[in-house]
Amino acid sequence: MPLKIGDLQMTRVPKLPKVAAVFEVSTPSYSARRAGIDHLSAALRLGGLRSFEVDHGVIMASERGEIEFFHASGAVWARNAAAGRAAASELRKWDGVRRVEDRRAAGQAER
């Protein structure tokens, strides 16, 4: 049954305060994140990275893995490709998203 205008209940719009707090949140820049990215690269033992500027950020990659910096959020994503190949034992699909499951890590989490 379709709704009619009489079915709707009108309410008053609340009054907005004349003064409100405003917060400015800035995104960390690539140069501000660079020291952390270098530390992450060393911790993952990625070796010499090549940098590529893309529309959404900067990708730094080597044959051992990659690190990606996102301009919009300042987020950093990284992976060690060698460890990923050794640890990834099963690929599953949940809710249309493909995920890699590491059985060794799952076994350790249960202990």
Inter-CA distances, 17 with 11, 12, 14, 81, Å: 18, 15, 9, 53
Pairing outcome for strands 57-62 and 76-80: unpaired
pLDDT at 1 over 80: no
Domain assignment present for residue 12? The answer is: no
Find, among 90, 49, 85, 89, the residue nearest to 68 by Cα: 49
More confident residue, 40 or 83: 40
| pLDDT higher than 50, residue 90 | no
* Domain count across the chain: 1
pLDDT at 91 over 90: no
SS3 50: strand
CATH number at residue 46: 3.30.310
Domain-embedded: residue 1: no
pLDDT of 97 reads 52
Residue 8: inside a domain: no
The pTM of the whole model exceeds 0.75: no
Question: For residue range 3-43, what is the model confidence (pLDDT) as tens digits?
Answer: 888 888 878 888 888 998 888 888 899 999 999 999 999 98
| 33, part of any domain | yes
Domain that holds residue 87: 26-110
- Whether residue 18 is contained in a domain is answered as no
**4 inside domain:** no
Decide if 104 is inside a domain. Answer: yes
Does some domain include residue 38?
yes
